[in-house]
Amino acid sequence: MNNIKFENNRLFILDQTKLPNQEIYLEMKSLEDCYNAIELLQVRGAPAIGIFAAYSLALFHENNIEKSKEYLDSARPTAVNLSWATQRILNAFRNGKNLIKEATAIQNEDIDMCRKISEYGLSLLKDNYGILTHCNAGELATSKYGTGLGPIILGNEKGYKFHVYSDETRPLLQGARLTSYELEKHGIDVTLICDSAASTVMKKGLIDAVLVGCDRVAANGDTANKIGTNTVAVLSKYYGIPFYVLGPYSTIDFSSPSGENIVIEERGANEIKSMYFENPTALSETKCYNPAFDITDNSLITAIITDKGIAYPPFEKSLKELYND
């Protein structure tokens, strides 16, 4: 799935806001186009935002590259991959390196990391497993395979049959619009459920494991995930179902000691009340609170699956061990 294309020095993205009904590519012509594409979620998913931001800064940085970086970073604050990738471009600039080559390296490294994450994740799954996922952490959100969906897509290639339950993921419906689209394209069995049906499928014994991507992992293993993920984690603990968080090393932020240090992006009321409805679902004066992410407490997480291996609790120690060797 080609979500970010760099061809003949031109940058294109598959507009994810139009999926699954239309597959439209948009060409980026300025830094402002790139900022808007990230802010409007035309390109989304933590690793994909990082890859895209790297190309954006490499191509369109203005006289003051530090300012251009800050501007792009401010488009979405929670996913650490964004500022991590733009920092790499800034470092390359300071060292007189070719910036496009650096952006391409970030993209290629992500393919490699996603493959490794997928292999580690698959080692924990069995044929015929029922798997619940939330939001979209597949190829649209990364480069290839994905993180949360990676083991499923890789397993499918190897002949595993999984039964995936995809939370629709209110309010922006990434599970409905993107995950079910992506899995259908791969020919993987997927059933779309309302977020509120997660406990029912768990209680019925249909779920053997939960797999989700993440936007930032704090040093103690608290993770920032798409809003609603913490609810799924609480339910998993109650029903005794393994809850796995998957992400590349660029998602781990050792400078955030715990989830309390992570800035959570808040988005507009229109996303709750009107964006995906023919008519508004509430009065215009009704207040809304729309945090885009929540923090999953480390005590609810069975394992964090990274490109370097699988970290188990206590995460403070196991994450450091994975990344400091």
- The residues that touch ligand MRU, with contacts defined as CB under 6 A, are 41, 44-47, 79, 135, 137, 141-142, 146-148, 174, 213-215, 225-226, 292
Shortest Å, Cβ 70 to ligand MRU = 20
* Cross-strand pairs, 10: 7
Cα 24–Cα 30–Cα 32 angle in degrees, nearest 5: 90
- Residue 47 or 77: the one with the smaller Cβ distance to ligand MRU is 47
SS3 133: strand
- Residue 79 or 310: the one with the smaller Cβ distance to ligand MRU is 79
Whether the CB-CB separation of 141 and 46 falls below 8 Å is answered with yes
Task: Identify the helix (H) or strand (E) that includes residue 315.
Answer: helix 315-324
Shortest Å, Cβ 135 to ligand MRU = 4
Known active-site residue 215: yes
Shortest Å, Cβ 141 to ligand MRU = 4
- Residue 251 or 298: the one with the smaller Cβ distance to ligand MRU is 251
Task: Identify the helix (H) or strand (E) that includes residue 253.
Answer: strand 252-253
Instruction: Give the side-chain half-sphere CA count within 13 A for 112.
Output: 9
26, 9, 8: which is closest to 17 by C-alpha?
26
Q: Active-site residue among 110, 215, 222, 253?
A: 215
Shortest Å, Cβ 165 to ligand MRU = 16
Shortest Å, Cβ 172 to ligand MRU = 6
Whether the CB-CB separation of 123 and 185 falls below 8 Å is answered with no
Dihedral in degrees, nearest 10, Cα atoms 96, 98, 103, 104: -150
- Residue 80 or 99: the one with the smaller Cβ distance to ligand MRU is 80
| Token pair recorded at residue 101 | 């080559």
| Token pair recorded at residue 87 | 């920092």
Closest residue to ligand MRU, judged by C-beta, is 213
- Residue 4 or 46: the one with the smaller Cβ distance to ligand MRU is 46
CA-to-CA distance for 102 and 89, rounded, in angstroms? Answer: 7
Catalytic positions, written as ranges: 215
